[in-house]
Structure 1
Amino acid sequence: MTAIAALAFALSGCATNAGGAGDDATGSWGKIDVQGEPSLDLAEGGALSGTDGCNRLMGTWTQDGDTVEFSELASTMMACEGVDTWLNLATTGTVNGGTMTLHDADNNTIGTLERSE
């Protein structure tokens, strides 16, 4: 019985929203399908896709409470004039209602995305 409980506990860490508390980040964030605007789509199961306004982004995500962690992010490397590609620097995000505040590797706030309708 102890082995079953340990296995259940270990597998719960693989869930998208392992912390249980906080707003669920699953869904679309930013201005989806608007050229030059950043957006993210966080799918159930941990897949991530989106754009920094120029380059396509893909990778994985997990959530613990209100904190979202992005890992294994890959990006195309196109050069786009006049587009601020800040989103590709995001390593974590904090969800508060309909707003996700994004942070870089040094935990500096680099921008926000609103939940898409």
Structure 2
Amino acid sequence: MAGGVQRRQAEAGARYDVFHTDCAARDVVDHVTSRWGVWVLISLRSNDLRFYELRESIQGISEKMLAQTLRALVQDGLVWREVEPTTPPQVTYGLTEFGRDVGEPLTELFDRITRRLPPRP
């Protein structure tokens, strides 16, 4: 089978082959389930946030990793980015409809886990 065959978008009703390494959908899944991708999507579930607000909401993430994660999620169409031409520029991020759709089960999973954990001392 030719390598490019797996990458093309399937005709109406057909699906991507997510188990193939060249599948575009697999890249999106990798970005969503990356160490920081999940936390970015969960952080943006309620509000649009500026870069520094996102960095403060996700403890332990470096500016570099946050920038890389956001770049991937924006490129995948899960997160939108708006730059206000001020000095310094103010950049705001939020979830697209696709991002809300993908983030909903992640939020549900997060909520289920936190409900089942014993209370913190």
TM-score by length of 2: 0.23
Please say which structure displays the higher CA radius of gyration: 2
Normalised TM-score (structure 1): 0.24
Structure in which a larger fraction of residues adopt strand: 1
